[in-house]
């Protein structure tokens, strides 16, 4: 296996149409997808991720039903892209190999297989299937703050040995401070950097996404995620348009037009935003307590239903160590907090 070739100093993978699905309650329309892909493609973005926020197969009662079938959205994105390619997310246990094959048939050429940061051993069959399909392979080590750099590197090794071409430090909670992020970048580069690219996916819950992206590049990371208008779970992702402007100021060639990305954010994405991701109390608590970013809307709905503050729900989820895939436990936490309130 050889490293994927880079066209520029760094590649920005835009995840507006996947991580942004969380903030949109998974209600993207085909028109929104087509308009966004055209704008990103014109700006020079190389890879555009499109799928349910929890990955292919994620449309469900537990995670939220998609407004439009994600295979329809993937196919629409593929039709609109002229030079960009389409990526999808797959979480083992949510998505299946059959879902991956359907996404590939719809036009996806990259899969990002996402596991909890200590559970990379559930990913090999999905990497094997993707390689058989001829897809580029990325591995998301989610909630990367929840294990130390050395163990995270061991998990990256499992992924690379299984066929992953680019393992990611995935800061799903937006919890990593700059020195913590750097230590993880260095550990992965030391372990697999000769064989694979290393990537970074940041969230803005503690306002570290862009800063950590700069540190990632300076350390040797060459695949970095962003979303237009920061559209994503929690307080959102590192904004693609801001990453482009910062990299341009630093003289780093990302192969994109920062001005066109600013236009895409302001003229295409902003008009359809249901909510603009922001660093409000709930989102900051997520980063502070290390809570999975996609828990935000679930906690807010549960808080409204059971009349308890969403930030208290999120803080308790952090104390209990819940991870992605345990969204159903948020209701249990809300009920428990309501009972504690009534007993007080």
For the domain spanning 11-271, the CATH number is: 3.20.20.70
The answer to whether 19 is annotated as binding is yes
The answer to whether 59 is annotated as binding is no
Q: Which of 22, 52, 126, 311 is catalytic?
A: 22
3-class SS at 91? coil
CATH 1.10.8.60 maps onto the chain at: 294-343
DSSP element (H, E) containing 226: strand 223-226
In the annotation, is 26 catalytic?
Answer: no
The answer to whether 102 is annotated as binding is no
Asked whether 41 and 48 are in contact (CB, 8 A), the reply is yes
Q: Which of 290, 307, 13, 310 is nearest to 142 (CA)?
A: 290
Asked whether 250 and 214 are in contact (CB, 8 A), the reply is yes
pLDDT tens digits, residue range 133-178? 999 999 999 999 999 999 999 999 999 999 999 999 999 999 999 9
Q: Report the alpha-carbon distance of residue 261 to residue 19 in Å, rounded.
A: 18
The answer to whether 104 is annotated as binding is no
Q: Report the alpha-carbon distance of residue 188 to residue 199 in Å, rounded.
A: 9
Contacts of 160 (CB under 8 A, 6+ apart): 1, 139, 167, 192, 195, 196
pLDDT beyond 80 at 324:
no
Q: Which of 226, 236, 303 is nearest to 264 (CA)?
A: 226
Q: For residue 144, what are its two tokens? A: 């990367």
- Radius of gyration (C-alpha) of the chain in whole angstroms: 19
Taking residues 277-289, what's their average pLDDT? 88
Taking residues 310-330, what's their average pLDDT? 87
Residue 30: HSE in the Cβ half-sphere, 13 Å Cα cutoff: 11
Mean pLDDT computed over every residue of the chain: 94
Burial class from Cβ neighbours inside 10 Å (0-12, 13-18, 19+) for residue 325 reads: buried
Query: Fold for domain 294-343?
Result: Helicase, Ruva Protein; domain 3 (1.10.8)
Q: What is the pLDDT of residue 76?
A: 98
pLDDT tens digits, residue range 38-86? 999 999 999 999 999 999 999 987 788 999 999 999 999 999 999 999 9
The answer to whether 292 is annotated as binding is yes
Q: Report the alpha-carbon distance of residue 75 to residue 335 in Å, rounded.
A: 41
pLDDT tens digits, residue range 253-274? 999 999 999 999 999 999 999 8
pLDDT tens digits, residue range 82-99? 999 999 999 999 999 999
pLDDT beyond 90 at 325:
no
Asked whether 222 and 198 are in contact (CB, 8 A), the reply is yes
CATH 3.20.20.70 maps onto the chain at: 11-271
Q: What is the pLDDT of residue 292?
A: 84
């Amino acid at each position: 296996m050889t490293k994927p070739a880079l066209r520029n100093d760094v590649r920005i993978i835009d995840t507006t149409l996947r991580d942004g699905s969380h903030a949109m309650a998974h209600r993207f329309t085909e028109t929104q997808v087509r308009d966004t892909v055209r704008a990103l493609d014109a700006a020079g973005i190389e890879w555009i991720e499109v799928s349910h926020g929890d990955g292919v197969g994620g449309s469900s009662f537990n995670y939220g039903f998609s407004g439009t079938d994600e295979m329809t959205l993937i196919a629409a994105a593929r039709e609109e892209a002229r030079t960009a390619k389409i990526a999808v997310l797959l979480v083992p246990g949510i998505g299946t190999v059959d879902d991956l094959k359907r996404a590939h048939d719809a036009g996806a050429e990259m899969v990002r297989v996402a596991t909890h940061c200590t559970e990379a051993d559930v990913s090999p069959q999905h990497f094997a299937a993707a390689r058989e399909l001829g897809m580029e392979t990325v591995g998301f080590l989610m909630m990367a703050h929840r294990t130390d750099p050395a163990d995270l590197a061991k998990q990256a090794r499992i992924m690379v040995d299984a066929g992953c071409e680019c393992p990611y430090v995935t800061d799903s909670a937006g919890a990593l401070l700059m020195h913590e992020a750097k230590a993880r970048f260095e550990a992965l580069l030391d372990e697999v950097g000769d064989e694979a690219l290393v990537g970074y996916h940041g969230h803005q819950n503690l306002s570290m996404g862009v800063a950590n992206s700069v540190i990632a590049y300076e350390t040797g990371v060459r695949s970095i995620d962003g979303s237009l208008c920061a559209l994503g779970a929690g307080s959102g992702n590192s904004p693609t348009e801001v990453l482009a402007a910062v990299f341009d100021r630093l003289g780093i060639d990302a192969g994109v037009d920062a001005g066109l990305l600013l236009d895409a954010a302001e003229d295409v994405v902003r008009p359809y935003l249901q909510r603009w991701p922001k660093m409000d109390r709930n989102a900051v608590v997520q980063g502070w307590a290390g809570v999975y970013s996609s828990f935000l809307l679930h906690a807010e709905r549960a808080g409204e239903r059971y009349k308890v503050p969403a930030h208290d729900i999120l803080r308790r989820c952090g104390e209990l160590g819940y991870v992605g895939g345990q969204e159903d436990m948020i209701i249990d936490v809300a009920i428990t907090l309501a009972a504690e309130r009534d007993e007080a």
